[in-house]
Chains A and B, each alone.
Chain A
Amino acid sequence: MARQKRSSSARITVPPARPPKLTLAPAPLWHRAAEWTLRVLAVSAIVAIVLILVFIAKEAAPIFYSAAVRAEVTLSKMWVPQLWPGYDESASIWQPVSEIPKFGIWPLILGTLKITFVAMLFSIPLGVGAALYVAEYARPRTREILKPSVELLAGIPSVVLGFFALMVMATWFQDWFHLESRLNALVSGVALSFAVIPVIFTLSEEALRAVPRSYVEASTALGAARWQTTLRVVLPAASPGIAAGVALGLGRAVGETMIVLMASGNAAIVSASLVDSARTISATIAAELAEVVFGGAHYTVLFFLGTLLFLTTFCINSLGDWAIRRMKRRLGATS
């Protein structure tokens, strides 16, 4: 045995017995064809996103070159307040169906901001708070009931939330606060927050629970009380995930249509008051597109608004998505 070993290490040329050649039968050709089909189908999401942008931008593009459209509306007429006949000072007015169509965009942007603000004002504390309770205080058994319950909210179609806001909440709010207009930014903002809460809740809860136990143990070992640990260790560690939830919730709030269409009153006025009626970009598209002339100025402007909405939410969501990835990397590296 030993001798054999030595001789082999001395490299005497005895060719080793060659192992029998094992090769797999080549996969049938149709397997490769099927795999290529998969590959082609897999880019569908990219194709969809690109097609969405291309085709709504295509319908909005005449605003830059079509003489017929530009006779009625140009970008500067949309963004810069104009001195309209019959008005004392220049104003941004949204009045697409009138003798002189006015496409001032600021009332719509202001309405969107107002309603989004109200929605985020309610949904951030409620969503994060509920997530904190479920992740930190609830027992595992209770959590298994609480989490799906809150997420039931996400399952309510937005038209149902809009219906509830229109029929029930609007009346309650008017009775409680003695409001002038029954449908207003406040009602629709609060109803909108019900759609945003589950988004923020789900992502925050996941982020809070992904904080490594060792963080909590280290903090406790240093003598911190539970609330101190939660406030100064767990929440900061989970903050990218919570931020992602807030960003995605914001994207949802800006783009949500049916709730605001039904409950905001849809008056395109410039007003800082939260209890005035308001009109958002999304609701404007939904309410007006059905009655416009294809290819006309109004049609073009509505697609322009759609492009604007798409780009805005795209940026917000990309930010949120980036935050999620960052959190996963960060917590993945430390745990």
Chain B
Amino acid sequence: MSATGAGAVVRPDREAQARLAARRTRRNFVGDGAMAIASGAALLIVLAVLAIILVDILHNGLPRLSWAFLTQEPREGMTAGGIFPAIVGMVQMVILMTLAGVPVGVATAIYLHEYSSPVSPVTRAIRIAVANLAGVPSIVFGLFGLGFFIQFLGAGIDKVFFHGQKVYGQPALIWAALTMAVLTLPVVIVATEEALRAVPRELREASLALGATKWQTVMHVVVPQAAPGILTGTILAVSRGAGEVAPILFTGAAYFLPQLPTHLSSQFMSPSYHVYVLSTQSPDVDATKPILYATVLVLLVLTFTLNMAAVVVRARMRRRQGVPA
């Protein structure tokens, strides 16, 4: 490309130079075009896949979706009626999961960002653990729930309080919720820490200069500022918890229950598990198909709404704090 360098001493061959420039322009035109087209095509394919999935599920699920579908029990071997018990079960599970998981996640994030020194081995170990926890396969969480919560904790509780009678030593709402709480822990930690990082240092310094203790500063100045981030993390965790199936396969989900869960030790129905069982083990796929599609649509609308809400909350938080999105 620097052919002109050697020829500059002698009289430059203007015609050759022009030819070279033209060829280079042409090549760059082709190169730039190919690059843009190839990467644009990749993006288009990804978006098209997303659109096809959404359109197919909307198209097939919408006709069956109604208020009655959301508020009725399933009837006639899941071929008629609605998914009311599944929705109730999911809500109960998600509430328990949030109560158990979010406080721990928020506490971890506060400790990591406000108290610990970034170079201490404990901090680094926590960070590595969080990153790895996020990557543990969901089916392994299912095994963990079975091995730890049910076989160890549940059976232990039964031995001590129920004289060996099986109450907690079997799949139950509480165990599914706790398993899911462990699974969603990294989501809460990461979102909360991001929010804490965005709180300006001056606020902390001002608070400390006014004589507030560290704890008062954290609780009354920093955490309120980071509240939207905590909310984002909670929403994302709920969205994840509502959609996952593998962790609740052996820890509490049931295919059909005649009554709603009443105790922590009851089993529960969940729309996500419902989709899995109906689509793989139904004796009559054609009869259950409309219901199946409608359930998938409910699940999808739920998770998308939650994710959108998280995006909006986060964007508003960033704008308020003047950090460009």
- 1/0 per residue, CB under 8 A from A, across B254-273: the answer is 00000000000000000010
Binds A, one of B63-71, B75-83, B106-114: B106-114
A56 to chain B, nearest CB (A): 5
List residues of chain A with CB within 8 A of the CB of B299: 157, 159-160
Separation of A257 and B216 alpha carbons in the complex (Å)? 45
CB of A313 within 8 A of CB of B136, answer yes
Q: State in angstroms the CA–CA spacing of A52 and B129 once bound together.
A: 12
> Which of A78-86, A89-97, A129-137 makes up part of the contact surface?
A129-137
**Is A10 interfacial (CB-CB < 8 Å)?**
no
Q: Check if B104 is an interface residue, CB within 8 A of chain A.
A: yes
Interface band, chain A: 35 or more
Q: Which has the most chain A C-beta neighbours within 10 Å: B53, B139, B244, B279?
A: B139
**What 1/0 mask marks residues of chain A from 15 to 48 whose CB sits below 8 Å from any chain B CB?**
0000000001001100100110111011111101
Complex CA–CA separation, A257 to B204 (angstroms): 45
Binding site secondary structure of chain A:
helix
The stretch of B35-43, B157-165, B194-202 that contacts the partner chain: B35-43
Min CB gap B55→A, angstroms: 11
Name the B residues within 8 Å of A153 (CB-CB). Answer: 46, 49-50
Using known A-B contacts A56-B144, A257-B139, A257-B246, determine if residue A156 contacts B300 with beta carbons closer than 8 Å: yes
Residues of B within 8 Å of A306, CB to CB, are 139-140, 143
* B111 surroundings in chain A (CB, below 8 A): 38-39, 41-42
**Given A27, A251, A282, A294, which contacts B135 in the complex, CB threshold below 8 Å?**
A251
Given contact pairs A56-B143, A130-B46, A258-B246, A42 touches B126 in the complex (Cβ within 8 A) = yes
The answer to whether residues A257 and B138 also contact, given A38-B111, A157-B303 and a CB cut-off of 8 A, is: yes
Residues in B191-240 with C-beta less than 8 Å from chain A: 211, 213-216, 239
CB nearest to A321 among chain B residues = B131
The answer to the question of A103 belonging to the interface, with a C-beta cut-off of 8 Å to chain B, is no
| A137 and B40 form a contact (CB under 8 A) | yes
CB contacts (< 8 Å) of B115 on chain A: these are 35, 38-39
B29-67 residues at the A interface, CB under 8 angstroms: 31-32, 34-36, 38-43, 45-47, 49-50, 53, 56-57
Q: How far is the CA of A133 from the CA of B136 in the complex (A)?
A: 30
What is the interface of chain B mostly: helix, strand, loop, or mixed? helix
Alpha-carbon separation in the docked complex, A146 to B136 (Å):
29
Q: Which of B133, B135, B311 contacts A248 (CB 8 A)?
A: B135
- Decide if B126 touches A43 in the complex (CB within 8 Å): yes
- Determine whether the beta carbon of B147 is less than 8 Å from that of A303: yes
B125 interfacial by beta-carbon distance below 8 Å:
yes
The answer to whether the Cβ of B174 comes within 8 Å of any Cβ in the partner chain is no
Decide yes or no: A137 and B39 within 8 Å by CB, A225-B31, A317-B131 being known contacts. Answer: yes
* Interface stretch (choices B6-14, B91-99, B182-190): B182-190
Residues in chain A near residue B294, CB distance under 8 A: none
Residues of B within 8 A of A127 (CB): 42, 46
A313: chain B residues at CB < 8 Å are 135-137, 140
Query: Contacting A27 at CB < 8 Å: which of B110, B132, B146, B213?
Result: B213
Closest chain A CB from B220 CB (angstroms): 12
Whether A104 is near chain B, meaning CB under 8 Å from some CB there, is no
What's the Cα separation between A6 and B112 when bound, in Å? 52
A204-260 interface (Cβ within 8 A of B)? 223, 225-228, 230-231, 248, 251-252, 254-258
Residues on B lying within 8 angstroms of A by beta carbon are 1, 24, 27-28, 31-32, 34-36, 38-43, 45-47, 49-50, 53, 56-57, 103-104, 107-108, 110-112, 115-116, 122, 125-126, 128-144, 146-148, 151-152, 182, 185-186, 189, 211, 213-216, 239, 242-246, 249-250, 272, 275-276, 279-280, 289, 292, 296, 299-300, 303-304, 306-307, 311, 325
Interface residues of chain A, those whose CB is within 8 Å of chain B, are 24, 27-28, 31, 34-35, 37-39, 41-46, 48-49, 51-52, 55-56, 58-59, 125-130, 132-134, 136-137, 144, 146, 148-150, 152-153, 155-164, 166-168, 194, 197, 201, 223, 225-228, 230-231, 248, 251-252, 254-258, 261-262, 282, 285-286, 289-290, 294, 302-303, 306, 309-310, 313-314, 316-318, 320-321
